[in-house]
Structure 1
């Protein structure tokens, strides 16, 4: 009789323990269930109770473990508009396209374009005064130094000629740089100098190291396998590019012979902190798809591939280099398609749930909390979606 009661009690204890453990996993988020043995003080023999009785202690953590990755808070939609540039975290300059005349069997459609300042918080849209006369033909592009103290400014009079200047952002003082260039390929080498691959009508042209005081010095590159720069990036004292054989290389202003970093490179994108390079591979050597990999600046692959498909494009790093947005198109609908975000902290790749393919570059706001995506639309020509991420 006593033995039967003991067995029944033991079964009940096991079931109760299992039930409590299950309840902790399902309901006690952020808690840790621990089973421990304690000395038996009931006088029961060790042969009967297994050397002690079992207790379940639920230990609540002060904070749940931090989760990395992405979470979308909301999505804004702007019809018939694309992003020209971000003015702040919530303000941006947009261009709205309007159909003036529909296409006919003999004539193409006619469009008009107007720029606006748009506030995502208030929904306010203000018209930006259009340029007139000679100014209408000018295109001004500026590139801020990593520390924000200087800006390299190019004013293009036409598609072959630009006036180059260095601007001190604190004083407004400008230094004109006496360099003829046909390309806008370049980037800040560090806080004190800008590298410009000027290009030429005949060959790759000169490469200039331009100081913040406006002085310039020619950079030598001994590489017969590059006639023009299609992929070019600079940062942390190094210059990166791809040659005619799809090889990614690097060199410095004082090292004219380049270092080979990777083969079969189609596109590359250097992170703003100059610590990582996102590389999409060329479809060659029997490889059926293009792949997206992360390299360090020494040419070493970091982890596994983060994307693959028939076409990988529009890689865009967030300003703080913590995330990489990219687009994938795969004819096989079972493969990767749409916009994805790679989180450098967790190593996770997350789909945004938007299967469309962008027709403009992906565009982060200054703090990296919003991402602009512009896609084609049959009725509205183009539509821009701005994704707000949860902070």
Structure 2
């Protein structure tokens, strides 16, 4: 039964779809870049992304869309370098598992080179692997054997390829974040928050019975761990150095601290069918509203803290649905693509801040097909 649960989890986790803009006003079709792939599993046909006009001239003065590269059949996980990304995709050599009216192959983790599309296996067998997150110095990889909403966590030394199991092999939530190069923060389903080192040794930071019940949306900056509670009502900030716990706000879905820790990008429930992306101070007090919609997903800071990437969908005519980049100082927003409006994963910026990884899933011939888009911009 666990293999069936794992197969279902793969489909559930690949959830998260709809045209960029050209300053010249002409329509440009960015061709499918999947012909650069060297593995057949990434050759699945997917629609091109159409670049259309955006009339926001003030933003165009500072932003240029350079390229959109599509990698089919994969779900991007993190950036190893400017030209290498860690991806999750099916392992064609794995043993298929019966699922619904067909079969599903296990998911593995690979390093994908953008120039040429070559791939190198990180871990791939008959197990479903995912949840990959690189340490800030790119020397270690946290990853999980995926079940449903939990998994068994590991940390791999990328130089040696050796891995250690964390939490003594117990299932933990599919969430977590690196605190620094040598420590990773995660929560479990019982409602505790833990810190593990590179050897896999863990220490409990908090019992969450009276502090959110369960940690979700875990984010870190400096020595602070941010998370939202189980019912997405409150935001918590735990200071690992002083062991001080702060709680503030209500109706908060998640918060993402700026790279320098000076402010938060916070998504809040502001109506029955409305979410608002806003900038706040560290106490959750609103400074500026950036976007409002039925759904706001994918929020991610650029490395320099000057821009935010996110997606918006709404219940109106859909004319404003899309993947955006906002200037946090001016609040001006540039729609990159309406084709990526319902990309649900958090965007991932490259180390230079000139490329953004965006994942989406489409249903084709009754099957869910993953696709990662690498969007290159200049300022």
Indicate conservation of the 8 Å contact 1:269/1:279, yes or no.
Answer: yes
Match of 1:336 among 298, 320, 325: 320
Match of 1:224 among 210, 232, 236: 210
TM-score, reference length from structure 1: 0.62
**Max radius of gyration: which structure?**
1
Distance 1:296 1:136, change over 3 A: farther
Shift of 1:70: 2.6
Match of 2:245 among 258, 274, 279: 258
Matched residue, 1:364: 349
Matched residue, 1:241: 227
Indicate conservation of the 8 Å contact 2:194/2:203, yes or no.
Answer: yes
Shift of 1:341: 0.5
Shift of 1:342: 1.6
User: Are 2:130 and 1:156 aligned?
Assistant: no
For residues 27-74 of structure 1, what are the alpha-carbon distances to aligned partners after superposition, in whole Å with 9 as ceiling and x for unaligned?
Answer: xxxxxxxxxxxxxxxxxxxxxxxxxxxxxxxxxxxxxxx997532122
Q: How does 1:1-391 map to 2 (within 5 A)?
A: 69-92=62-85, 108=101, 119-121=113-115, 124-126=116-118, 128=120, 135-137=125-127, 139=129, 143-146=133-136, 148=137, 151=140, 153-154=142-143, 156=145, 162=152, 164-165=154-155, 167=157, 179=168, 180-191=170-181, 193-197=183-187, 199-200=188-189, 203-204=190-191, 206-211=192-197, 216-221=202-207, 224=210, 226-243=212-229, 244=231, 246-253=233-240, 258-284=245-271, 289-302=274-287, 304-333=288-317, 336-361=320-345, 362-377=347-362, 381=369, 383-391=371-379
Indicate conservation of the 8 Å contact 2:164/2:199, yes or no.
Answer: yes
* Relative contact order, higher structure (CA 8 A, sep 6+): 2
RMSD, aligned CA:
4.1
Stretches of structure 1 that go unaligned for 5 or more consecutive residues are 1-65, 99-106
Q: Which structure is higher in strand share?
A: 2
- Partner of 2:81, secondary structure, is coil
**Aligned partners of 2:245 and 2:60: how far apart in 1?**
41
TM-score, reference length from structure 2: 0.64
Stretches of structure 2 that go unaligned for 5 or more consecutive residues are 1-58, 92-99
**Aligned partners of 2:75 and 2:163: how far apart in 1?**
31
